[in-house]
């Protein structure tokens, strides 16, 4: 067949393909799935071939410039996965394919021909396992890898953060030497080299963060998703996929087992296990009594409301025993914001309309856009001089620690000062270079928690009261990670103004999840309803509001359940006003089809419309 014409898609938010003529020297080379270099407007772009024809399409056609790859870089399974992603996450096929194969065109090494695998049409609904590993995580994962190796198949292991890769890789290499890591900190050239190794089956195990989910193994037999509840598995750019969903879809398409690993699973996974959709195994040891000691700060003297008497006593005892102490603070800086007690106004970021964090040296910083300014001495709204620092940040806690425990060596760990990898932190503890660590979630790592004698959660209310329906779930997961990481060897003190909150009184996972599921069901929240978040952003508030109303009218005509439109909890970021609408699943209606209809509303306008299917945050 002489392929005179080909349809090409690009990494653009455009559904339709663009047709090109194929020069005579390339007619016998072009294949669906290959990449080509083609003129697009005044520039040249790389795209994927999605269709071929001998019949000339309408219009004036340009010629392609170059054909890359002797064989298409993505096999049938991955190409089918990209099509599913395009449909499910409401993005173009070109954007989905770019996520699977993000390498620029200079990398032209010939690839081996694809191995014929399933086309995904006859999906097997395997083996999906939800595993609560307790202390047996590496033992279990090692057994999965060993069983998979006997079948002469390859495996993918996903971790939420790059810093966790090294520990996993060292342990897995003891049983499978042909193991590599794959993540964004590698150079593009090195990533492509390792991608080729996977494509050619020169390695058997790939360990990495989000992008390794698309590893092009020819005989993939296993995916392990560690800490499957982590929000780091949610892609922030289009397509906004969730690694957990992609893993399950690949498992169904290619007929292999997927293991979701967590001691505090996502509510969605817990719900699927309760319905017997997922098979569930629990290796966690049951502990009697509460997971931690809760302190009611309302009962403390005013001077002790940063450090309760119990926490102070625990710290003193640990220091006497030469044990390290960790103090977790959810926010960096000195105070959360400056409040004028005369007029009630808060000093806000001009770009984000969010209270600026007060830092030492009278600097105020926005942690969303990076705006910095000097803290005012008088209120810019009323001229009052009663500006109060509200809330606790890592800097304030650090200062208070030094005052109360003057002989202790104190070190702060947050993104303001600690830029290097967190794997260095345990060395500070082992070498006795620090007595008290003050920091954010950078410190909530098992290899750090296991080395300290006391963990203090300074004010858990900040997390519980975030304006997001997942706030309770996230807080419970954080506290569970702290408990598990401490391995029962240390004291965990949680300070709060709300000691009766059900998150703090849960005696087991079952206690928390059953209560949270009842609340979600009453309110019509996930996992009982599927959500799609429509985010409308622009520089002019009136235009954003008008576009939101325009979309709302279309939603009402279609008969969808919805919430909004309303300003987002973070109503302005980096100079853009933000409104959102939540579509809620209704039987007989296809939300994805509707989304594709409203997406063009943002084209050629100053308004940006973002689509987030199954959002993990509504901030």
Q: What letters, b where the CB count within 10 A reaches 16 and e where it falls short, cover 540-573?
A: eeeebbebbeebbeebeebebebebbebbeebbb
Strand 293-296 versus strand 491-496 pairing type: parallel
Tell me the backbone φ, ψ of residue 385, rounded to 5 degrees: -110, 5
The answer, yes or no, to whether the previous bond of 281 is cis (omega within 30 of 0) is: no
What's residue 163's pLDDT?
A: 85
Are residues 321 and 378 in contact, defined by beta-carbon separation less than 8 angstroms? no
Residues 248-298: tens digit of each pLDDT = 999 999 999 999 999 999 999 999 999 999 999 998 766 554 468 999 999
What's residue 455's pLDDT?
A: 95
Return the closest-CA partner of residue 164 out of 404, 448, 461, 581. 448
Tell me the backbone φ, ψ of residue 17, rounded to 5 degrees: -85, 170
Distances (CA, A) of 238 to 3, 10, 571, 580: 32, 14, 21, 17
Are residues 488 and 135 in contact, defined by beta-carbon separation less than 8 angstroms? no
- The token duo for 100 is 């699977």
What's residue 174's pLDDT?
A: 92
Burial label, 13 (beta-carbon count in 10 A; 0-12, 13-18, 19+): middle
Are residues 502 and 590 in contact, defined by beta-carbon separation less than 8 angstroms? no
What's residue 347's pLDDT?
A: 92
Furthest C-alpha separation in the chain: 85
Identify the segments of the chain with pLDDT beneath 50: 115-123, 289-290, 588
Q: What are the structural domains of the chain?
A: 5-100 (3.40.1440.60), 128-282 (3.40.50.300), 293-335+391-517 (3.40.50.300), 531-613 (3.30.70.600)
Tell me the backbone φ, ψ of residue 571, rounded to 5 degrees: -75, -15
What's residue 433's pLDDT?
A: 87
Are residues 176 and 244 in contact, defined by beta-carbon separation less than 8 angstroms? no
Coil/strand/helix, residue 50: strand
Return the closest-CA partner of residue 83 out of 239, 243, 235. 239
Give strand pairing partners of 374.
363
What's residue 119's pLDDT?
A: 40
Distance in angstroms (rounded) separating the CA atoms of residues 242 and 229: 10
Angle at 233 between CA 216 and CA 471, to 5 degrees: 165
């Amino acid at each position: 067949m002489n392929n005179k014409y080909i349809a090409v898609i690009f990494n653009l938010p455009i559904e339709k393909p663009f047709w090109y003529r194929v020069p005579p020297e390339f007619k016998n080379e072009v294949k669906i799935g290959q990449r080509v270099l083609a003129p697009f407007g005044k520039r040249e772009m790389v795209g994927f071939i999605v269709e071929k024809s001998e019949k000339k399409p309408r219009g004036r056609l340009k010629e392609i410039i170059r054909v890359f790859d002797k064989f298409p870089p993505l096999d049938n399974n991955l190409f089918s996965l990209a099509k599913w992603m395009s449909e499910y996450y409401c993005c173009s096929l070109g954007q989905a394919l770019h996520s699977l194969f993000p390498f620029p065109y200079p990398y032209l090494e010939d690839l081996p021909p694809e191995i014929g695998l399933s086309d995904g049409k006859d999906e097997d609904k395997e083996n999906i396992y939800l595993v609560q590993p307790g202390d047996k995580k590496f033992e279990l994962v090692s057994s999965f890898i060993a069983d998979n190796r006997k079948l002469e198949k390859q495996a993918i292991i996903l971790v939420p953060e790059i810093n966790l890769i090294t520990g996993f890789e060292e342990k897995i290499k003891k049983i499978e030497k042909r193991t590599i890591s794959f993540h964004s900190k590698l150079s593009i050239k090195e990533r492509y080299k390792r991608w080729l190794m996977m494509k050619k089956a020169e390695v058997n195990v790939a360990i990495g963060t989000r992008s390794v989910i698309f590893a092009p193994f020819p005989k993939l037999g296993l995916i392990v998703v560690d800490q499957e509840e982590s929000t780091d598995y949610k892609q922030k750019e289009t397509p906004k996929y969730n690694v957990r969903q992609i893993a399950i879809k690949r498992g169904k398409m290619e007929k292999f087992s997927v293991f979701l690993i967590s001691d505090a699973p996502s509510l969605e996974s817990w719900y699927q296990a309760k319905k017997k959709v997922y098979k569930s195994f629990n290796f966690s040891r049951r502990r009697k009594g509460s997971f931690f000691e809760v302190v009611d700060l309302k009962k403390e003297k005013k001077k002790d409301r940063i450090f309760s008497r119990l926490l102070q006593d625990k710290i003193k005892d640990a220091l006497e025993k030469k044990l390290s102490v960790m103090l977790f603070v959810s926010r960096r800086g000195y105070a959360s914001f400056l409040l004028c007690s005369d007029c009630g106004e808060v000093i806000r970021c001009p770009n984000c309309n969010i209270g600026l964090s007060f830092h030492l040296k009278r600097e105020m910083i926005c942690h969303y856009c990076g705006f910095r300014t000097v803290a005012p001495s008088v209120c810019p709204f009323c001229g009052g001089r009663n500006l109060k620092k509200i809330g606790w940040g890592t800097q304030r806690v650090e200062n208070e620690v030094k005052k109360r425990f003057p002989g202790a060596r104190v070190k702060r760990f947050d993104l303001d000062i600690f830029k290097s990898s967190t794997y260095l932190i345990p060395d500070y503890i082992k070498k006795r270079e620090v007595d008290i660590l003050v920091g954010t979630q950078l410190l909530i790592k098992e290899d750090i928690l296991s080395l300290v004698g006391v963990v203090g959660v300074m004010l858990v209310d900040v997390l519980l009261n975030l304006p997001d329906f997942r706030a309770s779930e996230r807080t419970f997961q954080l506290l569970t990670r702290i408990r598990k990481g401490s391995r029962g060897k240390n004291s965990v003190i949680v300070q709060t103004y709300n000691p009766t909150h059900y998150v703090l009184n849960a005696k087991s996972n079952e206690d928390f999840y059953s209560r949270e599921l009842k609340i979600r069901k009453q309110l019509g929240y996930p996992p009982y309803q599927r959500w799609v978040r429509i985010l409308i952003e622009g520089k002019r508030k009136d235009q954003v509001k008008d576009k939101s109303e325009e979309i709302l009218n279309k939603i009402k005509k279609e008969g969808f359940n919805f919430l909004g439109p309303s300003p987002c909890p973070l109503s302005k970021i980096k100079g853009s006003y933000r409104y959102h609408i939540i579509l809620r699943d209704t039987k007989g209606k296809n939300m994805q089809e509707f989304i594709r209809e409203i997406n063009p509303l943002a084209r050629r306008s100053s308004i940006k419309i973002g689509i987030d299917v199954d959002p993990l945050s509504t901030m």
